[in-house]
Each structure stands twice: as C-alpha cells, then as structure tokens.
Amino acid sequence: MFVLILGAPGSGKGTQGKILAERLQLPKITTGDILRAAVKDGTPLGKDAKKFMDQGQLVPDALILELIKGELTKPEAKNGAIFDGFPRTAAQAELVDKVLGAEGNRLNHILLLDVPEEEMVRRMVGRAAVERRSDDTPETIKTRLEVYQRDTAPLVAHYAQRGIMRRVPGTGSIDQIAEEIKRIIGR
Ligand code: B4P
C-alpha cells in the first residue's frame, strides 16, 4: 500500500506519517528528514540543499528527483511506503507515478491534511522553541507557506481528479487525527 500525506508546512505530515507507518508496518520516506541528515553530515547534496532550506525555498528538482528515485527503488519500499514531504512539485509527482508504475504499483491513498494557516504558524513557532530547526524562523515560515501555495497546492487539484484523495481535518489532537486517518484507510 502506497500512501501519500500531503499538506502545507506545519500541517502535521511528519507527525501523522510516523504514526501511520508504525501502524501499517511500512517504511516512511520523508524527504525533509533525508535532506536534514545530508546537511548534518555535510554531504555534497546537504551543502547544496542547505541554502534553499534555510531560506524556506524548495530544494530544486535537479537535486531532488534522483534522491526520490533512489528511495522509491529501495527493496524495503517494494510493497508499500508512506510518503511524507514529497511530491512537492509537478515534476516530482510525475516521477513518483513513473517509478511506481514501472513496478505495477500506484498511489492507493492520498491524504490532504487541512489546517488553518494561523494554526500551522503557531505549531512551527512552537517547534522552533524546542527543536531549533533553522527554517522555523518567522520570516522563513512565511516563505514556506507561500512556496507551498505556489508550487505544491496545484498538486491538490491534480490528485483530486483521480478520486483517491481525501481531505482530513488536521486540527484537534494528534490521536483524533490519527483515528480519522485509520477510518479513511480502513486499517
Ligand atoms: P519538511 O521537513 O517536509 O517540513 P514541513 O513541511 O514543515 O513539515 P514537517 O513534517 O516537518 O512538519 P509537521 O507538519 O509534521 O521540509 C523542510 C524543507 O526541506 C522544505 O522547506 C524544503 O526546503 C525541503 N524539502 C523537503 N522535501 C522537499 C522536496 N520533496 N522537494 C524540495 N524541497 C524539499 O509538524 C509541524 C509541527 O506541528 C510539529 O512540531 C508537530 O509536533 C506539530 N503538530 C503536528 N500535529 C499537531 C496537532 N494535531 N496539534 C498540535 N501540533 C501538532
């Protein structure tokens, strides 16, 4: 089963993706975590990506597409995975379909976490106080929300046409949202 969790920054993708992956016993592929690890390790990808991440911009597709392809073709993701943080652009969405399709697979569920902007900002500001992520500053949060509207929100219309996208109200407790996701997916 391949599940995509879609949503703006701070909508709870990472949080719900982790719960879902543990429950379904599937790997979770999170481009944000992979990129942050690359930055921490000082790899060439990390060095290139850091500039964009610190400004709240997307890391260019030229750097991301190979990374996604590599993750999707790992043996552990052969029978299913939870995708969190990608696709974020039309080119990434196209690649996901292509790589899954080559193995006779497809996205089975697309969950769109729907959260008002003020709440997302509140969460990211709260996280900044705890985790000190370099992109959780007020200025960068604003840019990330704008970039989401410009580059990623168009994917919502694209996926809605397939009839497998469900809007999940993303406010309420983490457990309530996880229960709603369980109800939608049916397991
Ligand atoms: P991400 O790591 O994907 O960051 P994000 O969009 O902020 O989501 P995240 O998963 O961290 O937060 P969540 O909503 O779960 O990306 C970071 C950067 O990496 C991007 O800006 C970009 O530069 C780059 N990048 C990543 N993927 C890319 C790609 N494919 N292409 C190009 N660039 C890419 O949670 C936010 C907070 O809310 C948490 O503190 C959480 O505890 C809290 N929370 C969650 N649910 C809650 C609830 N119900 N109630 C209260 N708080 C809640």
pLDDT at residue 114 in the model: 97
d(CA 160, CA 164): 7
pTM (whole model) above 0.85: yes
Q: 29: part of which helix (H) or strand (E)?
A: strand 28-30
d(CA 159, CA 93): 9
Contact 149, 156 (CB under 8 A): no
| d(CA 11, ligand 1 centre) in Å | 7
pLDDT at residue 18 in the model: 98
Q: Whose CA is nearest to atom 36 of ligand 1?
A: 10
Ligand 1, pocket-test mutation among 4, 5, 6, 13, most atoms within 8 A of CB: 13
For the chain, which ranges sit under pLDDT 50? none
pLDDT at residue 14 in the model: 96
Q: Pocket around ligand 1: residues whose beta carbon is below 6 Å from it?
A: 9-15, 31-32, 35, 52-53, 56, 58-59, 64, 85-86, 88, 92, 123-124, 127, 135, 144, 174, 177
89-140 pLDDT tens trace: 999 999 999 999 999 999 999 999 999 999 999 999 999 999 989 999 999 9
For 32-46, the DSSP string reads: HHHHHHHHHHT-HHH
| d(CA 9, ligand 1 centre) in Å | 5
